[in-house]
Amino acid sequence: MIGYAEACALQKRIVAARKADAIEDVLLLCEHPHVITQGRNGKREHLLVSEHVLRQKGVEFHETSRGGDITYHGPGQIVGYPILDLGAIRRDVVWYVRMLEEGMIRATAEFGIVASREPGKTGVWVKGGSFTSHESAVTSHLAPVTVTREAEKLGAIGVHISRWVTSHGFAYNVSTDLRFFDLIVPCGIADRKATSLEKLLGRTVEKSEVALRLAKHLGELFGLELRETSKEEFLQKLERAEQVVAVEA
């Protein structure tokens, strides 16, 4: 668990070290307290409540440099910040976003759920299926009507790339309180809802179990060997890298 502003400050430090080639590629996996963030392309009208209401609910608001519109982060959601040198992997922004989606799709499949992309939309979606409404048959003696539910969003993406080094990333709903998405028009798409892995499965899921799968698939997709490290060990490594950069400068 880390505050959003603190996570952004940490990313900036890692990006600077990565641009100087003083540190390897990094995948930060974390969880944020309640926060709503607005990307570079965001519209303030997609925030549906006042800042006073946000304060009452204990929700922070931050404008951010990532792409995309407005989204919510909070407990029960895995937020991933890959800080990669795409110059050494593949200089293709669209491909990079598709790989983030693919990592979430493959991790979801391991839980027996089919997630997919939606044409013209970024992120990972789960089709809602269909149900038959018998209400019309009872009230107006018409035949039952089959209604198809719209796909719901399981994972969101918003990235920033500078000199081919990535930051920001993705958010994957594991046990997220989905009511907080009612405070916004998620990603600027008014007619779609968010969902979570626990809602889809109808059972409790450990975030660590999901995080391991996300990391594994992203490592495979980017051709990287992932080595897990603690926050403390990593911060020490980052400080050493920053000292090297300072000396060389």
Question: Which tens digit of pLDDT belongs to each residue from 9-47?
Answer: 999 999 999 999 999 999 999 999 999 999 887 778 889
**Mean of pLDDT over the chain:** 90
How long is the chain? 249
Closest by Cα among 120, 116, 196, 213 to 154? 196
Cα–Cα distance measured from residue 146 to residue 140, given in angstroms and rounded to the nearest whole number: 16
| Start-to-end Cα distance in the chain | 34
* Residue 86 banded pLDDT, cuts 50, 70, 90: very high
Closest by Cα among 15, 47, 9 to 184? 47
- Listed ranges 65-74, 121-130, 227-236; the one with the highest mean pLDDT: 227-236
Q: Give the pLDDT of residue 145.
A: 43
Q: What is the CA 170 to chain-centroid distance, rounded?
A: 3
Question: Which tens digit of pLDDT belongs to each residue from 132-186?
Answer: 344 444 444 555 544 346 899 999 999 999 999 999 999 999 999 999 999 988 7
On whether the CB atoms of residues 90 and 96 are closer than 8 A, the answer is yes
Pick the CATH number of 4-117+152-242 from 3.30.930.10, 1.10.10.10, 1.20.1260.10, 3.20.20.140: 3.30.930.10
Q: Give the pLDDT of residue 136.
A: 40
Q: Give the pLDDT of residue 200.
A: 97
Q: Give the pLDDT of residue 156.
A: 95
Question: Which tens digit of pLDDT belongs to each residue from 101-119?
Answer: 999 999 999 999 999 999 9
Q: Give the pLDDT of residue 187.
A: 66
Question: Which tens digit of pLDDT belongs to each residue from 65-83?
Answer: 888 889 999 999 999 999 9
- Residue in the block written with tokens 């970024």: 122
Rounded to the nearest 10 degrees, the angle between the axes of helix 93-109 and helix 207-222 is: 140
Active site (catalytic) residues: 187
Q: Which residue has the higher pLDDT, 230 or 185?
A: 230
Q: Where are the domains of the chain?
A: 4-117+152-242
